Chain A
Amino acid sequence: MASVKLKAKAIDGGLIEVKALMTHPMETGLRKDSATGEVVPAHYITEVVVTANDKEVLKTNWGGSVSKNPYLSFHYKGAVGDKVKLTWKDNKEGTDSAEIAVE
């Protein structure tokens, strides 16, 4: 089951607009389980890397302050047909990625 939804389209000025949605609990590590009273361990995406034709166009590092089911958007100089790939890693060695061709 996919945890990344990618959109990449060419806009004015030779720019590609990338929009990404991810499914992830983004657990801060500061929340207490109401049933057990135990602190729920941190579980959040720590790094997202986006490449276009295998060249890095964005890297972002996150903590628990990013919303659950995070969203990310940015622009880079590129062209229709570029292969855009997003990979996320979290603090529990979880990872997932998705790829899309720029329209």
Chain B
Amino acid sequence: MVKLLLPGLLISSLALTAAYAAGEPNADAYRQMTYGDRDANPALLVVDRGEELFKEKRGPKSVSMEECDFGLGKGVVKGVYAELPRYFKDTDQVQDLESRMITCMTTVQGFDAADLKKKTYANEKANEDNTELEAIAVYIASQSDGMKINPSTSHPKEQEAIKVGEALFYHRAGPLDFACVSCHGADKQRIRLQNLGNFSKAGPDAQKAIGGWPTYRVSHNAVRTMQHRIWDCEGQMRLPDTEYGAPLSVALIAYLAAQAKDGTYVLPGMSR
């Protein structure tokens, strides 16, 4: 059990969490009924929209994203997400899907990065539909459906990113002294009915979580990506927003993907 120095209310709710006892109220039936049928996932229409955007000649240079390299050569989308994050020679950086999309859309299509980052996430409180970035990301990711989670980890910069990600995972910050590990550092934790996967070790929790992102979040009525997940966690932790695709976020994702290695991607996912 992780030792926490959190405000009273939160301590008590976390301290009481344990595996569901037999007969304890849980959302298992709801999850099976809602997320179980992959044909009922509204993300499928967002994937289709993402595919159109991906293949369309867009931007000042009027070029399609098929001219981009996401790690397996120009124009290859099948399987690229399964091996991300990875090191890219042309940017001399480890990049996740979304930071790589920005690289592509700026260098190849001629878009302005600052402009692109103005419309990163749909505002679910305003009942908005997914942004172009979200649609494109879930399209590319879904082309790795069924494949093993296999981020590249052999390059020294990849290993460095994973180490930085791990350090960040344990780094306590903000007014509530939260680290990722505060919620995700022990087995069988939950907060109310939501399970808090243990990402401090390689294993099934990490595999299941990472394997299901991007996902259609029913509580948002929108597809959400890993960049959004990190950003959303930061919000919950009362930490400042990370810029879309920032190295900090890539390092965290590299660490989580490494913990999830050998799991299977089920994409697009569907979750709360």
Contacts and interface: CB of A to CB of B under 8 A. Distances in A.
Tell me, yes or no, whether A and B come into direct contact in the complex with CB atoms closer than 8 A.
yes
B interface bracket (residues with beta carbon within 8 Å of A): 10 to 19
B42 A40 contact: no
B142 to A, nearest CB: 13
A1 B49 contact: yes
Contacts of A68: 42, 127, 221
A69 interface: yes
Which 9 A-B residue pairings sit nearest by Cβ, starting from the closest? A69-B42, A68-B221, A19-B39, A23-B45, A71-B40, A5-B45, A5-B44, A7-B39, A25-B127
Contacts of A1: 48-49, 52
B129 A25 contact: yes
Contacts, number: 44
Given A33-B126, A73-B40, 19 more contacts: A1-B48, A1-B49, A7-B39, A19-B37, A19-B39, A19-B40, A21-B40, A21-B44, A23-B42, A23-B45, A23-B46, A25-B127, A25-B129, A35-B126, A40-B127, A67-B218, A68-B221, A69-B42, A69-B45
B3 interface: no
B125 interface: yes
Interface of B: 37, 39-42, 44-46, 48-49, 52, 125-127, 129, 218, 221
A31 B129 CA distance: 16
Interface in A1-35: 1-3, 5, 7, 19, 21-23, 25, 27, 31, 33-35
A31 B218 CA distance: 18
A27 B218 CA distance: 15
Interface residues of A, number: 21
A88 to B, nearest CB: 13
A71 B42 contact: yes
Contacts of B46: 23
Contacts of A27: 127
